[in-house]
Protein backbone atom coordinates (compact mmCIF):
# COMPACT_ATOMS: atom_id res chain seq x y z
CA UNK A 1 0.00 0.00 0.00
CA UNK A 2 1.88 3.03 -1.26
CA UNK A 3 -0.88 5.44 -0.29
CA UNK A 4 -2.49 8.25 -2.26
CA UNK A 5 0.04 10.41 -4.08
CA UNK A 6 -0.53 14.02 -5.11
CA UNK A 7 1.64 16.25 -7.27
CA UNK A 8 2.83 18.88 -7.01
CA UNK A 9 2.95 19.48 -3.25
CA UNK A 10 2.98 23.22 -3.73
CA UNK A 11 2.00 25.46 -6.63
CA UNK A 12 2.35 29.22 -6.80
CA UNK A 13 0.71 30.87 -9.77
CA UNK A 14 -0.36 34.29 -10.91
CA UNK A 15 -3.98 35.23 -11.15
CA UNK A 16 -5.44 34.30 -14.51
CA UNK A 17 -3.12 31.37 -15.15
CA UNK A 18 -4.26 27.76 -15.52
CA UNK A 19 -3.05 25.04 -13.15
CA UNK A 20 -3.38 21.27 -13.14
CA UNK A 21 -2.96 18.89 -10.22
CA UNK A 22 -2.54 15.14 -10.35
CA UNK A 23 -3.71 12.43 -7.96
CA UNK A 24 -2.66 8.79 -8.01
CA UNK A 25 -4.99 6.76 -5.79
CA UNK A 26 -4.29 3.47 -4.06
CA UNK A 27 -4.19 1.01 -6.91
CA UNK A 28 -7.20 -1.17 -6.14
CA UNK A 29 -9.48 1.70 -5.11
CA UNK A 30 -12.41 2.37 -7.43
CA UNK A 31 -13.55 5.64 -5.95
CA UNK A 32 -11.63 8.88 -6.07
CA UNK A 33 -12.59 12.14 -4.40
CA UNK A 34 -11.39 15.73 -4.57
CA UNK A 35 -11.75 18.08 -1.62
CA UNK A 36 -10.70 21.66 -0.99
CA UNK A 37 -9.53 22.91 2.37
CA UNK A 38 -9.04 26.56 3.28
CA UNK A 39 -7.22 27.78 6.36
CA UNK A 40 -9.04 26.99 9.58
CA UNK A 41 -11.72 24.94 7.91
CA UNK A 42 -12.46 21.31 7.32
CA UNK A 43 -12.22 19.83 3.84
CA UNK A 44 -15.12 20.59 1.51
CA UNK A 45 -16.27 18.08 -1.09
CA UNK A 46 -15.69 19.04 -4.72
CA UNK A 47 -16.32 15.95 -6.82
CA UNK A 48 -15.93 12.19 -6.97
CA UNK A 49 -15.43 9.41 -9.48
CA UNK A 50 -16.31 5.77 -9.54
CA UNK A 51 -13.80 4.29 -11.92
CA UNK A 52 -13.76 6.75 -14.86
CA UNK A 53 -17.27 8.10 -14.31
CA UNK A 54 -17.66 11.44 -12.55
CA UNK A 55 -20.74 10.85 -10.41
CA UNK A 56 -21.21 14.09 -8.55
CA UNK A 57 -19.95 17.66 -8.59
CA UNK A 58 -20.39 20.15 -5.78
CA UNK A 59 -21.76 23.62 -6.38
CA UNK A 60 -18.31 24.76 -5.23
CA UNK A 61 -16.93 23.45 -8.51
CA UNK A 62 -17.43 26.38 -10.83
CA UNK A 63 -17.11 26.21 -14.60
CA UNK A 64 -13.44 27.08 -14.25
CA UNK A 65 -12.80 23.75 -12.56
CA UNK A 66 -12.65 20.46 -14.38
CA UNK A 67 -11.69 17.01 -13.16
CA UNK A 68 -10.97 13.90 -15.13
CA UNK A 69 -10.12 10.29 -14.49
CA UNK A 70 -9.66 9.00 -18.02
CA UNK A 71 -8.76 5.38 -17.39
CA UNK A 72 -10.15 4.95 -13.94
CA UNK A 73 -6.71 5.24 -12.39
CA UNK A 74 -5.10 8.64 -11.81
CA UNK A 75 -7.09 11.84 -11.82
CA UNK A 76 -6.37 15.45 -12.72
CA UNK A 77 -7.98 18.61 -11.43
CA UNK A 78 -7.59 21.68 -13.62
CA UNK A 79 -8.40 25.23 -12.63
CA UNK A 80 -8.62 27.74 -15.45
CA UNK A 81 -8.16 31.49 -15.05
CA UNK A 82 -7.20 31.16 -11.40
CA UNK A 83 -8.45 33.71 -8.88
CA UNK A 84 -7.05 34.59 -5.47
CA UNK A 85 -10.02 32.89 -3.89
CA UNK A 86 -8.83 29.60 -5.34
CA UNK A 87 -5.89 29.60 -2.93
CA UNK A 88 -6.34 26.52 -0.78
CA UNK A 89 -5.14 23.00 -0.12
CA UNK A 90 -6.57 20.56 -2.66
CA UNK A 91 -6.89 17.08 -1.23
CA UNK A 92 -7.43 13.85 -3.09
CA UNK A 93 -8.78 10.70 -1.46
CA UNK A 94 -9.59 7.21 -2.61
CA UNK A 95 -11.61 4.30 -1.30
CA UNK A 96 -12.85 0.86 -2.19
CA UNK A 97 -16.36 0.75 -3.51
CA UNK A 98 -17.90 -0.35 -0.27
CA UNK A 99 -17.02 -0.69 3.35
CA UNK A 100 -13.85 1.31 3.37
CA UNK A 101 -13.16 4.83 4.55
CA UNK A 102 -11.38 7.48 2.52
CA UNK A 103 -7.60 7.49 2.40
CA UNK A 104 -6.21 10.96 1.81
CA UNK A 105 -3.09 12.17 0.07
CA UNK A 106 -0.93 14.95 1.47
CA UNK A 107 -2.58 17.51 -0.75
CA UNK A 108 -1.48 20.20 -3.19
CA UNK A 109 -1.26 23.67 -1.72
CA UNK A 110 -2.18 26.33 -4.28
CA UNK A 111 -1.26 29.96 -3.81
CA UNK A 112 -2.63 32.45 -6.33
CA UNK A 113 -0.83 35.80 -6.27
CA UNK B 1 -28.25 17.26 4.17
CA UNK B 2 -25.61 15.91 6.50
CA UNK B 3 -23.53 18.24 8.64
CA UNK B 4 -21.04 18.13 11.48
CA UNK B 5 -20.43 20.54 14.34
CA UNK B 6 -17.26 20.60 16.38
CA UNK B 7 -18.00 23.10 19.15
CA UNK B 8 -14.40 23.55 20.32
CA UNK B 9 -12.10 25.44 17.99
CA UNK B 10 -9.02 25.05 20.16
CA UNK B 11 -8.18 22.91 23.18
CA UNK B 12 -5.02 23.03 25.26
CA UNK B 13 -4.18 20.04 27.39
CA UNK B 14 -1.20 19.05 29.53
CA UNK B 15 0.87 16.08 28.52
CA UNK B 16 -0.41 13.01 30.35
CA UNK B 17 -3.86 14.48 30.89
CA UNK B 18 -7.01 13.12 29.31
CA UNK B 19 -8.54 14.59 26.18
CA UNK B 20 -12.08 14.70 24.89
CA UNK B 21 -13.11 16.29 21.60
CA UNK B 22 -16.76 16.88 20.91
CA UNK B 23 -18.60 16.14 17.69
CA UNK B 24 -22.28 16.48 16.89
CA UNK B 25 -23.76 15.45 13.57
CA UNK B 26 -26.92 15.83 11.59
CA UNK B 27 -27.93 12.99 9.32
CA UNK B 28 -31.25 11.52 8.32
CA UNK B 29 -30.39 7.88 8.93
CA UNK B 30 -27.74 5.85 10.70
CA UNK B 31 -24.52 7.56 9.75
CA UNK B 32 -21.02 6.45 9.04
CA UNK B 33 -18.81 8.45 11.42
CA UNK B 34 -15.11 9.11 11.31
CA UNK B 35 -12.35 10.94 13.13
CA UNK B 36 -9.32 12.11 11.18
CA UNK B 37 -6.16 13.82 12.37
CA UNK B 38 -4.10 16.30 10.36
CA UNK B 39 -0.61 17.50 11.15
CA UNK B 40 0.54 20.84 9.69
CA UNK B 41 0.97 20.69 5.92
CA UNK B 42 -0.13 17.08 5.76
CA UNK B 43 -3.14 15.16 4.58
CA UNK B 44 -5.67 13.53 6.85
CA UNK B 45 -5.02 10.28 8.66
CA UNK B 46 -7.90 8.09 9.77
CA UNK B 47 -8.02 7.56 13.54
CA UNK B 48 -11.16 5.47 13.77
CA UNK B 49 -14.55 4.84 12.20
CA UNK B 50 -18.03 3.77 13.19
CA UNK B 51 -20.19 1.87 10.74
CA UNK B 52 -22.42 -0.28 12.95
CA UNK B 53 -22.39 -2.55 15.98
CA UNK B 54 -20.54 -1.71 19.18
CA UNK B 55 -20.96 1.98 19.85
CA UNK B 56 -17.53 2.29 21.50
CA UNK B 57 -14.87 2.06 18.82
CA UNK B 58 -11.14 1.82 19.26
CA UNK B 59 -8.72 3.47 16.94
CA UNK B 60 -5.04 4.00 16.40
CA UNK B 61 -2.70 5.89 18.72
CA UNK B 62 -4.80 5.03 21.79
CA UNK B 63 -7.90 6.96 20.71
CA UNK B 64 -11.47 5.81 21.17
CA UNK B 65 -14.86 7.29 20.34
CA UNK B 66 -18.39 6.61 21.43
CA UNK B 67 -21.44 6.87 19.19
CA UNK B 68 -24.50 8.13 21.05
CA UNK B 69 -27.53 8.12 18.79
CA UNK B 70 -29.77 9.88 21.31
CA UNK B 71 -27.36 12.82 21.46
CA UNK B 72 -26.27 12.71 17.81
CA UNK B 73 -22.72 12.72 19.08
CA UNK B 74 -19.47 10.94 18.35
CA UNK B 75 -16.93 12.27 20.86
CA UNK B 76 -13.27 11.35 20.66
CA UNK B 77 -11.27 10.52 23.77
CA UNK B 78 -7.77 9.64 24.82
CA UNK B 79 -6.88 8.81 28.44
CA UNK B 80 -3.36 10.24 28.38
CA UNK B 81 -2.10 12.56 25.68
CA UNK B 82 1.41 12.68 24.33
CA UNK B 83 3.15 15.72 22.89
CA UNK B 84 2.89 14.09 19.46
CA UNK B 85 -0.91 14.31 19.67
CA UNK B 86 -0.75 18.04 18.98
CA UNK B 87 -2.57 18.40 15.68
CA UNK B 88 -5.92 19.29 14.16
CA UNK B 89 -8.74 16.81 14.54
CA UNK B 90 -11.70 16.50 12.21
CA UNK B 91 -14.95 14.68 12.73
CA UNK B 92 -16.79 13.59 9.59
CA UNK B 93 -20.11 12.01 8.69
CA UNK B 94 -20.35 9.80 5.63
CA UNK B 95 -23.19 9.12 3.26
CA UNK B 96 -24.02 5.42 3.10
CA UNK B 97 -24.46 5.45 -0.66
CA UNK B 98 -21.42 7.27 -1.96
CA UNK B 99 -19.15 7.56 1.09
CA UNK B 100 -18.95 11.27 0.44
CA UNK B 101 -17.78 12.82 3.70
CA UNK B 102 -18.89 16.05 5.31
CA UNK B 103 -16.36 17.43 7.75
CA UNK B 104 -16.57 19.63 10.76
CA UNK B 105 -14.43 22.75 10.99
CA UNK B 106 -11.90 20.95 13.16
CA UNK B 107 -10.46 21.26 16.67
CA UNK B 108 -6.85 22.26 17.14
CA UNK B 109 -5.18 20.48 20.04
CA UNK B 110 -2.16 22.00 21.74
CA UNK B 111 -0.21 19.89 24.22
CA UNK B 112 1.79 21.68 26.89
CA UNK B 113 4.64 20.07 28.77
Q: What is the DSSP letter of A63?
A: T
The pLDDT tens digits of the residues spanning A38-95 come to 988 999 999 999 999 998 899 888 899 999 999 889 999 999 999 999 999 999 999 9
Q: Report the pLDDT value the prediction gives residue B2, as an integer from 0 to 100.
A: 81
- Give the residue, B57 or B41, on which the prediction is more confident: B57
Q: Report the pLDDT value the prediction gives residue B41, as an integer from 0 to 100.
A: 78
Smallest CA–CA distance, residue A83 to chain B, in Å, is 22
Give the CB-side neighbour count of residue A6, counting CA atoms within 13 A. Answer: 27
**Beta-carbon contacts of residue A47 (< 8 Å; ≥ 6 apart):** A33, A34, A54, A56, A57, A58, A61, A67
Phi, psi of B70 (to 5 degrees): -65, -25
Q: What is the DSSP letter of B54?
A: -
| DSSP SS3 for A109 | strand
Range B49-78 average pLDDT: 94
- Give the residue, B11 or B96, on which the prediction is more confident: B11
Q: Which of B42, B46, B49 sits opposite A106 (nearest CB)?
A: B42
Q: Which of B43, B94, B100 sits opposite A104 (nearest CB)?
A: B43
| DSSP SS3 for B70 | helix
Smallest CA–CA distance, residue B35 to chain A, in Å, is 11
Phi, psi of A5 (to 5 degrees): -115, 130
pLDDT band for A23, please (50, 70, 90 cuts). Answer: very high
Please state, in angstroms and as integers, the Cα–Cα distance from residue A34 to each residue in A6, A64, A108, B82, following that order: 11, 15, 11, 32
For residue B6, pLDDT over 90 is answered with yes
Q: Among candidates A44, A39, A76, which has minimal Cα distance to A58?
A: A44
Q: What is the largest CA-CA distance in chain A?
A: 41
Determine, for residues A104 and B99 on separate chains, whether the beta-carbon distance falls below 8 Å.
no
Amino acid sequence: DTGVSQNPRHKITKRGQNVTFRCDPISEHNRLYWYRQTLGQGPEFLTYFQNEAQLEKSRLLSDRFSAERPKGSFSTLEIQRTEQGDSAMYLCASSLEEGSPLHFGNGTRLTVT
Amino acid sequence: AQSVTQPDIHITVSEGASLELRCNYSYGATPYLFWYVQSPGQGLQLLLKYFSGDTLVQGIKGFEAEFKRSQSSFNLRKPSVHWSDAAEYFCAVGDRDDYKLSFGAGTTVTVRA
